[in-house]
A and B are shown apart, each in its own frame.
Chain A
Amino acid sequence: MTIAARAGDLAIETRALTKRFGRQIAVDAIDLAVPMGSVFGFLGPNGSGKTTSIRVMLGLAAATSGEVSLLGESMPGRLARVLPQVGALVEGPAFYPFLSGAANLRRLDSADRAAPGRSRRARVDRALDRVGLSNAAGKKVSAYSLGMKQRLGIANALLMPRRLLVLDEPTNGLDPQGTREVRALVRSLAGEGTTVFVSSHLLAEVEHMCTHAAIMSAGRLVSQGTLDELRAGEARVRVRTPDAAAAIRVLAAAGLVAELESAPDERGAESFSAAGGSSNRPADHWVSAPLEVPAGGHLAEEDLVAALVAAGVRVRGFHLQDTSLEDRFVALTGEGFDVVR
């Protein structure tokens, strides 16, 4: 495989992409690699630089330094060639409130030189149908709800056959049905071979639709890869027992680095006493350990339980916790509720 062909394997590639507004660095040297054909989740808290990155990728804003290529072509130099193949929803939908939904789409479609005028009406109707807006096509957008505008924004991205879709917060303002429809839509588009780049701060959404993800925090790209890679090695074993010290010893013997969780699980304790346990029983502790499978070896959870029981540890609860993307996300971007910048 030649180098050129390898470069073509990435739908979006940025190298040390930086965007500075005055003194503030909005995007700090990110190296994003979005494989062709993937559904790529672009995660990050509010204000972490996701939308700014997207603006630079689409040529709406100029990079302070670094490079961007879309579909193997450099941006913004080849903008006129690349963008007709890219459908975009950037920072929410935006339309002319005094025009109908269909007239809005025809207007935006006419801005694309590659879009044939002859099929415009048919393509607009198809896009509206795809997002379930056919019945509201003739209504003025000023009468649309937020969710309807969001759907219309997605329809705009689907006016032409696209090789890449960039969707910034596509499920914003949608009801649960709408959210499910968008997920199904993204899946069907990906099935047709379109690369979909979805930015979101909703982790569940990304876990539901994406094959790959990247996590932004305060302008930096802190992690990227397949979802499994992002979650890898983070599963934990948790044991509820009054015999914490013994449990830690047993787990250590199995090769796990266990520790006593600092705060006793209150919810667990409550539900336990509610279940009718006597009040003078010793308090339970949670002992947990990252579940690291030894290289080449095999570690079965049931063996751990057997070992614990054999050592006389009173096992009152055993829990195998897969790390959710949320744990990883919080670990990488911090717990705080405050906007970082």
Chain B
Amino acid sequence: MSDKTVSDRSVSDRAAPESGPAASSATAPTGSPRPGGAWALLVSELTVLFRRRRTWALLLALAAVPVLIAVAVRLSSQEPTPGRGPPFLDQVTQNGLFVAVTGLIVSIPLFLPLTVGVVAGDTIAGEAGLGTLRYLLAAPAGRVWLLVVKYIGAAVFCLAATLTVVTAGVLAGLALFPVGPLTLLSGDTISLAESFLRALLIAGYVTVSLLGLSAIGLFFSTLTVVSVGAMAATIVLSVVAQVLDSLPQLDWLHPWLFSHYWLDFADLLRQPIDFTSFGANALLQGGYLLVFGALAYGRFATKDILS
């Protein structure tokens, strides 16, 4: 959580015109277009996103997941039995770092898609609902650039969300359990420093996993002015995809579902690291981004803004 505050602060500082590197690099005279003026909207988007109380509420709810797990395990008198409860739960008492991993595994099916659905579903529909969309476009922000900025905002939120779970998990683990060199699934042992890197790598994997869902949310968001509708549709779709992924009768469909590789980050806990599932996941998410990005563009580029 603490790193979040710092990045938020630096963003809003850059938005301030009198100070910061952006101001000194702006050399064009007042009133004439200067290159890079378009980035101001991205900075503003991130500032607004992370200044919203709703964003903080979502991140706090996510942070609560690993903390609750850690506290429950710590307070419970009996050791977690291997094979019961979420994967890695039994390892938590040996090494507190596993709180972060368990927290992610618990959050992936519902909590993370939920928060991402809220942010991605709100991107365009939220602006349309407030009426600010017409003022952004009349500024003019440019429709394509606005879509890109909105998507980047959603992607940054995905990263913030997974980092929040991991950071809260690591902190809770450090506070409540012994932490030391980590024994991997392959039996090798890595240093504490390297295990932090592995935790970040897993956060990166989960972030990439959510990029396809973000693109779907962006597309739904261009269809309506009621952002709750776009949010709900995105979240429902993420649940449907996981249900379909669990039906063996639909084997042929599974590799095409955006949720198919969501939990396959165990390969990152081996020595040497196996990047196969990371690559397959990235490719799949890239495909979803391309398809739903194109759909969103097709819908939004010519849409009549009547809200």
Interface residues of A (CB under 8 A from B): 55, 58-62, 79-80, 83-84, 86, 88, 90-99, 106-122, 156, 160-161
Contacts and interface: CB of A to CB of B under 8 A. Distances in A.
B140 A79 contact: yes
Given A80-B140, A86-B138, A90-B138, 4 more contacts: A55-B304, A62-B304, A107-B44, A111-B146
Q: Which 8 A-B pairs have the closest CB atoms?
A: A94-B131, A111-B139, A61-B304, A111-B141, A110-B44, A110-B40, A113-B37, A83-B140
Contacts of A106: 15, 44
18 contacts: A60-B305, A61-B304, A80-B142, A94-B134, A107-B48, A108-B135, A110-B44, A111-B141, A112-B139, A113-B142, A114-B31, A116-B31, A116-B32, A117-B23, A118-B26, A122-B17, A160-B31, A161-B31
A108 B132 contact: yes
B75 interface: no
B28 interface: yes
Contact of A114 (B33, B44, B51, B130): B33
Nearest to A93: B131
A178 B37 CA distance: 34
Contacts of B135: 88, 90, 94, 108, 111, 156
B302 interface: yes
B53 interface: yes
A54 to B, nearest CB: 10
B30 A116 contact: yes
B4 interface: no
Contacts of B30: 116, 118-119
Interface string B107-134: 0000000000000000000000011101
A95 B130 contact: yes
Contacts of B142: 80, 113
A88 B138 contact: yes
B130 A60 contact: no
B38 interface: yes
Interface in B59-104: none
Given A58-B138, A95-B130, A111 B41 contact: yes
A61 B146 CA distance: 16
B38 A120 contact: no
A62 B48 CA distance: 30
Contacts of B15: 106, 110
B136 A111 contact: yes
B9 interface: no
Contacts of B23: 117-118
Interface string B1-40: 0000000000000011110001100101011111001101
A114 B137 contact: no
B31 to A, nearest CB: 7
B43 interface: yes
